[in-house]
Structure 1
C-alpha cells in the first residue's frame, strides 16, 4: 500500500500561525507548544570544516572570514578538491641513481579541473602552501576598515558616557558642574584623557573614490573572433571570487571551503533548548532533540476517493503514536472564524501585559544597581527588575483556505505506545481495544487506519486544489515534572490544527 506523503500534503499549524510539515516542527515540553524555526532563537555552538572535521574557535573563524585554511573547493563547479600525487622524474634522464620525487596538486573529481590548468605549481607537501591570489585593492580596503573601526570605537565610548549620566544622578562632581575631566587633568598637570588622545591619533579619512571620464576600450578580438562560451566564466563563478571577478576560466583560483556551524535552538517563550547537537563535528547525535516527530502523532493520507464538488468522498488516514505512552485521539471541528476571534483576544492580552509591565517600570524607575546593599526590597520587585523578559511571539492568522467539509466523528480511538519489536511481529496484536468499526478500519501496534468522510464545497471549479482541516486532540504525557519532583507523569489534552491537501477536483455531482 502506498501512502500520499510529501512536505505539502499534511501540514500542522504552529503556535505562531505558520503551516509546516511535522518534520519541520519542534515541540517544547516546558510550555507544551509547537515551535517552528521562526518561534525559536538560533544560537551558534561551534564552527567546523565539513571536510577535515576541524573545530575552529569563533574568534579564529572571524579572522579567517569563516573559511577553512586547509580545504579548498573547485572554482568551476564548487565541489570539494582532492589532493592528487604525481611523480616528478630527475632533471637528467640519464641519471639512474636519483629516484622520482612526489609532487602534489589539486584536482576536482567532478569536472576534472586541476590547479595545473591555471599554472599553479605543484607542491612538495600534502598540506599545500598553495599560493594565494593578491588583492590589488587590499590597501584601500584596509584604510576603510581602520576608519570605520575608529568610528565604532568613538560611538561606543560616547554611548558608555551617556549611560553614566543618568537624569538627576551624577557619578562625580564634575558631571554636575559641567567641568570636563580633560580640563581638570590639564590644570593639575596630567596628560589628556584616553578619548581625547584617540581622537587626535585617529586615522585620516581615505581619499574619496572618483569616477573616471575615460575607460579602456574593448579589445578588437571581441568583435572579430567568435566567442567560446567554454572559456568565459559564469556569474556564479565570478561572485565566488569577488575580489578578482575573473572573466575567463584560465584565471580561476581554488577557493577556501566555507565553514559549517552547529547551532542550538532555544524556545523564545520559556528560553529552554529544544535542540542541541553534540560538540564533535563528526557526530550526528543530539544532546537535546525535542522534534515534534517524536511527541505528536503523525498523520498520513493512505487513500482518497475521486473528489467531486458537493459529493461525499471517503478518506483513509493513518495515525501513528511515536511516544512511549498510550494516547487517545479525538476529532474537533476547525472553525476559522473562531480562530480569528481568538487571535484578537490574544493580541488584546499581549497589549494588556505590555501596559502592565510599563506601569511597573514607571513605579520603580530606580535600578537595583544604584540602591545600597543594605536596602531591603521585596522578592517580587527583585525578580521583576533583575530578570529579562522573554520575547513575546505574536500570533498571526492561518493563511490557508479550507474548501472541503469534514464529517467529525463522534467517537475517539486509542493508540498504544510505540514498540520497536512489534514492527517484526506478524500476529497483528490489537491490544484488545474495542474500536468503532465505522471509524477505525485497521490497526497494528501503535498505528491505526481511520476513515473520514469529506465533502468538497459545491461551487469549486474543476482542477482546483481541495484542502480540508480539523483539530486533532490527543492526550500528551509530560514526564519532566515527574523526573524532577518524583511524581506521576502529568497528562493533559493537547490540540493541534491539521490541514490536508487531498488533491485536485475531478468533477461535480
Structure 2
C-alpha cells in the first residue's frame, strides 16, 4: 500500500468527484465503480470496550450511556487506568492483658495511571477491598433538572402519539373502536354515577421551571489577585471538557472517567446497497467478512522518481504499476479528457458501452427489510473536478500487460518465465505482477501567483477487470474495461530554460 503516512502524491478520482489515495477508497464489485467515504453509508454493527473487549448490544449501550462500567480513563492524560494492589494496616481490638498489639496488613486496591502516575489516592478516593469495582462515582449537580426535563418530554411525546391515533379514527366503525380509546369504560362509569377518569390523568406532570437569565455575576475571590498562581494545580481546558457536567478547576478535584465504547462499522454502497466493507462481529478479531478495498481490485501506481522539472524542458518520470488481482490485466494510458465510461466486448467481438442492466448484480437490493422500514440511501450528483494538470505527458501507444498476482513470486529471485515483448525504452523493469514505465513530461508556464505550487500530471488509466460474481445471466466471469482518472502531484518547478 503506497504512501500511508505520507502526503497524497497519487490520487484517484472517485465517481462523486472527490480525489482520494488508493488506500482510502473502495471498489464496488456490483456497480464496478470506485467509492470513497462520501459514497458509502456507514452503519454501526456492534459496540465494544477497547480495554476489556466487552461486546454489548445497542440497547444495553444506550442504558449505560455508552460507557464501560469496569474500565476507567485517567482524568489527567486520558490513558487507561490499571488496578493496583496494596496493603493497609488495620489495628485489631485491644487485648485486656496489655501486651503490644501487632498491625495486620490487609489487601486493598486502588486505580493508578502508568503514564502520568496519577492515582485515585491523589483525589482522595478511598481504597476498595474488592478488585472488581465499587468505585464511588461523582454525581451530576444538575441530575434532578435533567431528569425532570426528560420526563416532561416523554409525556409530550406520548400525548402526540395519542393525538395521531385519534386522527386515524374511522367514524364508520365506532363500535369496533370503543375499547381501543376506553369509551366503553367511560360510558359505564357515567351510567353508574361515578366521575369520569381523564385519559391523561396518569400522564400529568408539572411543567419544569424555566431557566432565568441573570445579569448578576458572582465577584471573584480576592485570593486570585493576591496569591501566586500554580499552573500545575489548575486543570487544562481539555481536562475540564472531558467531564463537562462538573468541569473541575483544580487537579485534586478530578475523578476517573468511565471508558467510552467504540463501534464497529460497516460501509454500504449508496447506489446498489451492497456492502463494500463489513468486519467480523467479535471485537477481538481484526478480520473482515467483506473487504472490497480498492487496492485489492484496482491497479496501484507509485511514483519511483523523476528528473528536476523546468518549464519548456522534457523530464523523465518513472511510474511503477502493480496488478493486485488474480487475473492478468491489460493497462492502457489515455489522455486526461477521455470519458471514463466502462466498456465490454459483445458476443460479436465489438466494443460497446457497459450499461447498468448488463452489470452482474446478485440481486436488486441485499437489504431484505421493506422499503418503509429500512434506511433510505441519500445520493448526490457528481461534483466537477476543478484541478487542471499543469504539465503535458507523452503517453505510450502500446498497452502494458501485467500478469496475475503471485504471492510466492515475491520471494523468488529466479528469472521470470513471462515472455512479454516489451519496448525497452518504455518498460525499464519488470518482476512478477509489477512493472516500471518511463514517461516524458513537460511542465507548462505557470500562471501568475502559482509559481510555487507543485506540478500536477493527469491522465486516464484503462485496465481490464474480471468480474467473478456469478449470476443467472452470466455464468462465466465477465471481462470489462474500466477507466479511472488519476492525478500525480510532483515537485515544484526549478526554473525556466
TM-score class, shorter:
0.7 to 0.9
Deviations along 1:217-266, one digit per CA (max 9) or x if unpaired, are 21111000111111111111111111111111110000000100111111
1:472 partnered with 2:474: no
Distance of 2:166 and 2:306 partners within structure 1: 69
Match of 2:491 in 1: 503
Contact 1:47–1:259 at 8 Å: present in 2 too? yes
Aligned partner of 1:488 among 464, 473, 476: 476
* Structure 2 counterparts to residues 435-454 of structure 1, below 5 A: 435-454=422-441
Partner-residue secondary structure (3-state), 2:290 = strand
Match of 1:463 in 2: 452
Match of 1:328 in 2: 330
* Structure 2 counterparts to residues 201-216 of structure 1, below 5 A: 201-216=203-218
Match of 2:131 in 1: 126
Match of 1:152 in 2: 157
Partner-residue secondary structure (3-state), 2:207 = coil
Match of 1:362 in 2: none
- Shift, 1:44, TM fit: 0.6
Match of 2:236 in 1: 234
Match of 1:296 in 2: 298
Partner-residue secondary structure (3-state), 1:316 = strand
Instruction: Choose 326-335 or 208-217, whichever is displaced more.
Output: 208-217
- Shift, 1:172, TM fit: 3.8
Q: Count residues with an aligned counterpart.
A: 448
Distance of 1:116 and 1:4 partners within structure 2: 43
Match of 1:104 in 2: 109
Distance of 1:122 and 1:489 partners within structure 2: 66
Distance of 2:392 and 2:206 partners within structure 1: 71
Distance of 2:286 and 2:100 partners within structure 1: 55
Match of 1:400 in 2: 387
Partner-residue secondary structure (3-state), 1:253 = coil
* Structure 2 counterparts to residues 168-207 of structure 1, below 5 A: 172-173=172-173, 186-187=186-187, 197-198=199-200, 201-207=203-209
Q: What is the TM-score normalised by the length of structure 1? A: 0.82
- Shift, 1:400, TM fit: 2.3
Distance of 1:457 and 1:199 partners within structure 2: 80
Distance of 2:4 and 2:245 partners within structure 1: 49
Deviations along 1:97-142, one digit per CA (max 9) or x if unpaired, are x752111111111111111111001111111210001112111111
Partner-residue secondary structure (3-state), 2:90 = coil
Distance of 2:199 and 2:84 partners within structure 1: 55
Distance of 1:281 and 1:331 partners within structure 2: 43
Distance of 1:3 and 1:448 partners within structure 2: 18
- Shift, 1:451, TM fit: 1.3
Contact 1:430–1:443 at 8 Å: present in 2 too? no
Q: 1:391/1:138 Cα in 2 relative to 1: closer, same or farther (>3 Å)?
A: closer
Match of 1:217 in 2: 219
Q: 1:132/1:498 Cα in 2 relative to 1: closer, same or farther (>3 Å)?
A: same
Match of 2:29 in 1: 29
* Structure 2 counterparts to residues 258-277 of structure 1, below 5 A: 258-277=260-279
Q: 1:114/1:328 Cα in 2 relative to 1: closer, same or farther (>3 Å)?
A: same
Partner-residue secondary structure (3-state), 1:154 = helix
- Shift, 1:212, TM fit: 3.7
Partner-residue secondary structure (3-state), 1:504 = coil
Match of 2:259 in 1: 257
> Tell me, which stretches of 5 or more residues in structure 1 are unaligned?
340-385
Instruction: Choose 196-205 or 229-238, whichever is displaced more.
Output: 196-205
Distance of 1:196 and 1:121 partners within structure 2: 52
- Shift, 1:4, TM fit: 11
Contact 1:4–1:300 at 8 Å: present in 2 too? no
Match of 1:57 in 2: 57
Deviations along 1:37-68, one digit per CA (max 9) or x if unpaired, are 11111111101000000001111111111110
Contact 2:4–2:23 at 8 Å: present in 1 too? no
Contact 1:269–1:393 at 8 Å: present in 2 too? no
- Shift, 1:200, TM fit: 6.5
Distance of 1:188 and 1:397 partners within structure 2: 70
Distance of 2:391 and 2:190 partners within structure 1: 83
Match of 2:407 in 1: 420
Q: 1:310/1:113 Cα in 2 relative to 1: closer, same or farther (>3 Å)?
A: same
Distance of 2:190 and 2:318 partners within structure 1: 86
Distance of 1:37 and 1:142 partners within structure 2: 38
Partner-residue secondary structure (3-state), 1:451 = strand
Partner-residue secondary structure (3-state), 2:154 = helix
Q: 1:199/1:267 Cα in 2 relative to 1: closer, same or farther (>3 Å)?
A: farther
Contact 1:27–1:295 at 8 Å: present in 2 too? yes
